[in-house]
Structure formats: structure tokens, C-alpha cells
Amino acid sequence: MNQKPFSKKNNTRRDFLKFTGAASLSFLISGQSFSIQNATNMDNQTMKHRLNDKSPLEKLSKFPLMQAIFGRRARRFGYGMEIPSGPLAYKSKHKALQLSELEQALLIAAGTGVTGWNFGVPYGPDRPGEHAHYTHRFTGRTFPTAGGFGTPALLYTDDNGTYITNTRDVQPTGISEIGENLPEATERIVEVCRKHTTQLSGSRLDLPAAPPHMLEPNLWMANAPGSTLFMPIGDASEQVLALLALAIGNGNVLIDEESGKPAGNLQPFIKSGLLNDTKQIPLSVMLQMAYEANCSELAFMGHNIVLTLQAMGLGGLYFNGLNRWSILGAFAEQGVKGMGFTFVRNEKWAVPNPVGLEGIYEALCPPWHRNMRSAVEVFVERKFGTSGAYAHQDRGPWKESGKIRKGVTPYSEEFVDCLSEIAQYIHDKHGKFPGTFSTIVLPGFVQAIHLDTEFYDKFYQPGAYLKTHKEHMRVWHGKK
């Protein structure tokens, strides 16, 4: 595989990157701002005191869901911002104000918090006497994932640095993480997010406010001082392997419609009866399903955060128009570090392929694995290994969890061979896995800000923001 650096001399790739960059619960908070990663420096008594203050917590817990849904708007103008010209030209009278650590922690928990055990896929016709083998993780989080695959993590940045929160393999404490004592439950949920947050750098994401890194309408507000920018990501390699395992389990033959032939040497598996030649799925359809599932999951994460913004009285929006390659680190050699992801490059590709963060969030494909067989073995270990979804332990959502887990038969060697054959075929054909889209998926972003209500009072009709926005500084920061 060609590992040559991305070349600025190739106009096709440069123009493509340019085009894609341009197209593409509650706490009483003090005025102090610091990141969730630094929360470990806060003594437990202080944390408990803040978490157990009931006034903001009760307001948040009683905020109507329908009001959050119908009150949701893209409210972009925050403290410290300026629109330089036009009929809405305005400069904020307030200095940029970063979200407090606990405001930020709550949004992170809303986006990717652990909620308890998910219920899995209860039945599959290919194994009528067993619980279905499709679920990859039984960790329930605040957003749904296809088949319990659960690949997403959450990148974010603020004035203090860049971070990743990865709760995908957290083992829940019960069927629900929220009981009747909401302050106590909230403390636990926030603590899980904090424990699984890694700081990647000590400064805000260095995303230039200029094309091709940012769409022109976003230049004045995106990643601005005081804002927190959330970036949900998914691992398409694991998503595709999980879908392929589901397809193989039901005897489906993956067909490469470009060649009109099976995706790999699948005849031995058809002959043995593992696959049924009368059941065929186009490979392109399978890959599209995986991509759509990833995007849906990540959008749910973002929407959870946006709904929570309404309940807390914070401004912000869900949007795109930021260059995902710039954000992840494709331009590091040109001085734009991004989030520091590793990329695989090939002269045949219009853009390089992000494959993860070394030692933190690595995709199931080369260069982290010597071949796709090795990647598949890790996938199977995550599912059936000693700490996997079907480990022989009496934990889970069922009354007889241990019995149900033990009743699921691990994949046979032949099954692993078949999954590896198809995965390697995809990788060999395209030079990457999966073949038709990026390994790390990043389709959209959420920005959270302290809303400058004076801007909306000046230019918009009454009702442009919610009561929670009007009361935010008093309720959450103790200011009159």
C-alpha cells in the first residue's frame, strides 16, 4: 500500500478536499471553567456538593420533552461573537464564556452516557435454540446502535484542549443507571464519562477559519473561543464486520456486482452449507447499510446533545460544513494538526483514509492489524472472549443472564475463515476497509455556547429563545 504523504500538487485531490470541506441531568455551576478531563483534580466532596444541588437538577428533569423538540432552533450567536456586516451586524457586549466543567460534562453524558444494559437482538432464525448472536455489545447508551454494535465515540474541543470520550465498552451496573435518586445517578453517569475521557492536546482544535477547512457561512462562529465543539465518530470497520457476521450467520452470499461474482472465494463455504447460493446480497448494499447506520447513530448522539441544550438554556446547533479530514488530522504535515488521527494514503484516492487514534481508538483493519484475518480475530475476541458480550458471567438485562450468555455458541473456525475471506477481499480490492467510504465516520457536529440573548432581543421577534435561555446565567452560574 502506498503510504506517500498527501500531495498538494495533485489538483484533483486538492480540489476534491476543497469541495468536501466547503460542502461537507443538570447541576449548579460556579463561574469557573475547566474541562471534564481536569475534573479528576476536583475533590469528591466538591463534586458531590455541586451534583446534589437540586434546583437546576429539578428544572432539568422537569423540562418537557415536547418543548425541547419544538423549541429546538439553531441559535448560533454566543458570548464574545461578532457579525461584522449586513442587516444583523452586531458585536457581543460580553466576553466569550466557556462552558463550565459540569455543563460540559452533562452534554457529554447526554451524547454518550451509559444508561444500563441494552436488551440486544433476542432472536435469530439461524440459531433457533439459542439467543441471537448478532449483538456485539450489551452496553446501553443514550443513543441507539444497529444490532448493539455500539462503535461510536465522542471527540470534543474547548479552550483548554481536545479530548475523546469512549464509553463503548463500559460494563453497566444494572438494567438502568438512573433510579429515583437522580442526583446520585447523575453523579455516577458523569463519573463514567469522566473516567473514559482522554485528553489529546492542551489547546483548542487548530481548525483554520478559512476554506478548505471550513465552509464560508461558518467562518465567523464555528469553533469560536468559549464554545465547545462536539464531534461524534464511528468505526465503520467494526460496523461492517458486525453486519457481515449477521449476513453470514443467515447464509447470505456477498456478491460484488461490479464483477458479478462472490466477494472472495466463497465456494468452499457454499459447498459446506455455511452459505446458501440462493441468498445473495450485493456488497455495495451491505456497505451502504453500514455507512447509513453509522451516520444515523452519530446523528442521534448529536441530537441528544442539542435537545439537552434547550433544557439547560445553552445556545448552539447541529451542523456540518467543517472539513472532517482537517479535523481528524489529514493536513498535519501542512501545520494543521487536527485531532491527531492516523491516515492511510494512496495516490489513487482523492482523499486519505482516517483509521483511528493509536492506542486509543484503533479501527479493525491495517495498519493496526497485519491483515483482515487478524482484525477479524480481534472482532471475534471482543464478542466471545473473556470480557466480551457473551462472556460466561451472570450480568445482563435478563433474569437468567448467565444461562442466556452461556447458551450462545461462539463462531466456528469455518465461520471466521469465511468472514476473513470477505473482509480481505474488500480490503484488497479497494486498498482499505471498508472500501467505499472512510474507516472513521464523522458526518456532523454540535456546537454549544452561552447564548447572547441581547442579540436576539435586538433583531428577532419575541419567542426567539426559551425561558431556560433567559434564566441560564442565574440558574447555572448564580448571576442576577
pLDDT tens across 167-222, in order?
A: 999 999 889 887 766 667 777 888 888 999 999 999 999 999 999 999 999 999 99
pLDDT tens across 291-311, in order?
A: 999 999 999 999 999 999 999
**Residue 342, pLDDT above cutoff 80:** yes
**Residue 250, pLDDT above cutoff 60:** yes
Question: What's residue 35's pLDDT?
Answer: 44
For 114, the 3-state DSSP assignment is: strand
- How far apart, in whole angstroms, are the C-alpha atoms of residue 364 and residue 377? 10
**Residue 31, pLDDT above cutoff 50:** no
Query: DSSP code of 335?
Result: T
Question: What's residue 14's pLDDT?
Answer: 41
Contact present, 343 and 355 (Cβ < 8 Å)? yes
- How far apart, in whole angstroms, are the C-alpha atoms of residue 480 and residue 475? 9
What number is the average pLDDT over the span 246-255?
Answer: 97
Beta-sheet pairing, 253-256 with 261-262: antiparallel
What number is the average pLDDT over the span 97-115?
Answer: 92
pLDDT tens across 220-244, in order?
A: 999 999 999 999 999 999 999 999 9
Q: How confident is the model at residue 405 (pLDDT cuts 50, 70, 90)?
A: confident
Q: What is the mean pLDDT of the chain?
A: 88
Query: DSSP code of 310?
Result: H
Q: 327-360 as b/e, with b when 16 or more CB fall inside 10 Å?
A: bbbbbbeeebbbbebbbbbbeebebbbbbbbeee
Of 466, 373, 349, 249, which Cα lies nearest the Cα of 6?
349
Q: 269-302 as b/e, with b when 16 or more CB fall inside 10 Å?
A: bbeeebbeeeeebebeebbebbbebbbbbbebbb
Beta-sheet pairing, 253-256 with 280-282: parallel
Looking up cell 480481505 gives 424
pLDDT tens across 50-79, in order?
A: 544 557 777 888 899 999 999 999 999 999
**Residue 315, pLDDT above cutoff 80:** yes
What number is the average pLDDT over the span 275-291?
Answer: 96
Residues of the chain with pLDDT > 70: what percent?
A: 88
What domains are there in the chain, each with its CATH number?
Answer: 11-477 (3.40.109.10)
| pTM for this entry | 0.89
Question: What's residue 85's pLDDT?
Answer: 97
Q: How confident is the model at residue 319 (pLDDT cuts 50, 70, 90)?
A: very high
Q: Which three three-digit cell numbers place residue 275?
A: 452459505
What number is the average pLDDT over the span 255-265?
Answer: 96
Question: What's residue 406's pLDDT?
Answer: 87
- What one-letter code names the amino acid at 231? M
Query: DSSP code of 277?
Result: T
